[in-house]
C-alpha cells in the first residue's frame, strides 16, 4: 500500500493551491484527480473576478494553476476515490480500481457538481439537447433557440455566453428577482437575445429524437406554456462531491457540505477540507484558492506541530 505524508483529493483551484503551499512547506504531497485538473472552472466560459486576471477563461486559469502547482513537483495521480476512512493515525483512501493509499493527512478538495432538475425528459435528452456546460456544448446551438434554467451567477453569465451562438436564449427562473450579482444581471437583461421568463419552473423537456420544446409553468398564475427550443442548459446550483466519505466520518451540513473551522480543519484530526465542498457562504475561485492555502498550512501544523 502506498504511503504519503499528505494526499489532496481533487485538482481544482482549492486542491492545486493546497499543493503549491504544501510543497513550498516541504510536505510530501500526492494530488489525486479523477479527470483533467482544473475542476469546475473548466466548464466556465469567462472568469472576470479573479484578481489580477481580468481576461481569464476557465480553461486558461485551470492551466495556469496546474502549471504553477507542477512547478513545485507534487506527485499527481489519476484516480477516483471510492472511500475515505480512518484507521488510528492513518487516513485510508480506497480507489475505484481497488488500490489503497494511506496518508498521515488528507485535504478534501473534491468540489461540487451540477444539480439536476429531475423533470420528465431531463435524463432522456441529456446529450441530445440537455446540457450542464455551456462552454462544452454552446457551439452545437449556432443560430438556434435555447433555454437556460436558473437565476444564479452561473445561469445568468452562461446565458450571456450562449448568446454568442444561439439566436435567442430564454432565461427561465422560478422567482421574480435573480440571485446573481446585479452587474451580471444588468448585462444579461441588456442583451437583446436574452428573453427572461420569470416566476416560472421547468415542468418537462419534450421532443422526438432530440429536444424540441420545454413546458414551463408560471408559479403565480399556474399557466403552462410550451416554448420551442433546441437546447436546455440547466444551471440550478451544485451538490458537493462527498459520496466517498465513510458514513458518519465527518461532520457535514444538510446536503453533504463538509463543516470546517477557519483553518479548514474538519471534525476529524488530520482531515481538512477546502473549496466548494465545504459548508461556506461564498463559492468562488478566489475563496477556493484561499481555502487551499489555509488547509495546507493547517496540514503542516498537524504533521509537524
Name which of 84 and 155 has its Cβ closer to ligand NAP.
Answer: 155
Cβ atoms of 141 and 159 closer than 8 Å: no
Binding site for ligand NAP (CB under 6 A): 49, 150-155, 157, 174-175, 179, 201, 235-238, 283-284
Shortest distance, position 159 Cβ to ligand NAP, whole Å: 11
Name which of 64 and 92 has its Cβ closer to ligand NAP.
Answer: 64
- Rounded CA-CA distance 219/235 in Å is 19
Cβ atoms of 61 and 6 closer than 8 Å: no
Between vectors from CA 276 to CA 200 and to CA 103, what angle results, nearest 5°?
A: 150
Is residue 136 annotated as a catalytic residue, yes or no?
Answer: yes
In angstroms, what CA-CA distances link 76 with 73, 290, 295? 9, 21, 18
Name which of 94 and 203 has its Cβ closer to ligand NAP.
Answer: 203
* Closest chain position to ligand NAP (CB): 152
Shortest distance, position 155 Cβ to ligand NAP, whole Å: 6
Shortest distance, position 143 Cβ to ligand NAP, whole Å: 26
Residue of 133, 181, 199, 279 with catalytic role: 133
- Rounded CA-CA distance 124/208 in Å is 10
Burial category of 117 from C-beta neighbours within 10 Å (exposed 0-12, middle 13-18, buried 19 and up): buried
Is residue 86 annotated as a catalytic residue, yes or no?
Answer: no
Name which of 121 and 151 has its Cβ closer to ligand NAP.
Answer: 151
- Helical (H) or strand (E) element with 156: helix 153-162
In angstroms, what CA-CA distances link 10 with 31, 78, 259, 262, 286? 7, 10, 17, 20, 16
- Rounded CA-CA distance 81/301 in Å is 25
Shortest distance, position 58 Cβ to ligand NAP, whole Å: 10
Shortest distance, position 151 Cβ to ligand NAP, whole Å: 3
Catalytic residues: 133, 136-137
Amino acid at each position: 500500500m502506498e504511503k504519503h505524508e499528505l494526499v489532496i483529493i481533487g485538482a481544482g483551484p482549492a486542491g492545486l493551491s493546497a499543493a503549491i503551499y504544501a510543497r513550498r512547506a516541504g510536505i510530501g504531497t500526492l494530488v489525486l484527480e479523477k479527470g483533467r485538473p482544473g475542476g469546475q472552472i473548466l466548464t466556465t466560459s469567462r472568469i472576470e473576478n479573479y484578481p489580477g486576471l481580468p481576461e481569464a477563461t476557465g480553461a486558461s486559469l485551470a492551466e495556469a494553476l496546474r502549471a504553477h502547482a507542477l512547478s513545485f513537483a507534487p506527485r499527481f495521480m489519476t484516480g477516483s476515490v471510492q472511500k475515505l476512512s480512518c484507521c488510528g493515525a492513518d487516513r485510508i483512501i480506497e480507489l475505484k480500481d481497488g488500490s489503497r493509499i494511506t496518508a498521515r493527512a488528507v485535504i478534501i478538495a473534491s468540489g461540487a457538481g451540477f444539480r439536476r432538475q429531475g423533470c420528465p425528459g431531463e435524463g432522456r435528452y441529456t446529450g441530445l439537447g440537455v446540457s450542464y456546460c455551456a462552454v462544452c456544448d454552446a457551439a452545437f446551438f449556432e443560430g438556434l433557440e435555447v433555454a437556460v434554467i436558473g437565476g444564479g451567477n452561473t445561469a445568468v453569465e452562461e446565458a450571456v455566453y450562449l448568446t454568442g451562438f444561439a439566436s435567442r436564449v430564454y432565461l427561465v427562473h422560478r422567482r421574480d428577482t435573480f440571485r446573481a450579482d446585479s452587474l451580471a444581471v444588468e448585462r444579461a437583461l441588456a442583451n437583446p437575445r436574452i428573453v427572461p421568463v420569470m416566476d416560472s419552473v421547468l415542468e418537462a423537456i419534450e421532443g422526438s429524437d432530440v429536444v424540441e420544446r420545454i413546458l414551463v409553468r408560471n408559479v403565480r398564475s399556474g399557466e403552462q406554456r410550451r416554448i420551442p427550443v433546441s437546447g436546455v442548459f440547466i444551471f440550478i446550483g451544485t451538490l458537493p462531491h462527498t459520496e466517498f466519505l465513510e458514513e458518519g466520518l465527518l461532520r457535514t451540513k444538510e446536503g453533504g457540505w463538509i463543516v470546517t473551522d477557519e483553518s479548514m480543519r474538519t471534525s476529524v484530526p488530520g482531515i481538512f477540507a477546502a473549496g466548494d465542498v465545504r459548508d461556506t457562504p461564498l463559492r468562488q475561485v478566489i475563496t477556493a484558492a484561499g481555502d487551499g492555502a489555509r488547509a495546507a498550512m493547517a496540514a503542516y501544523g498537524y504533521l509537524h506541530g
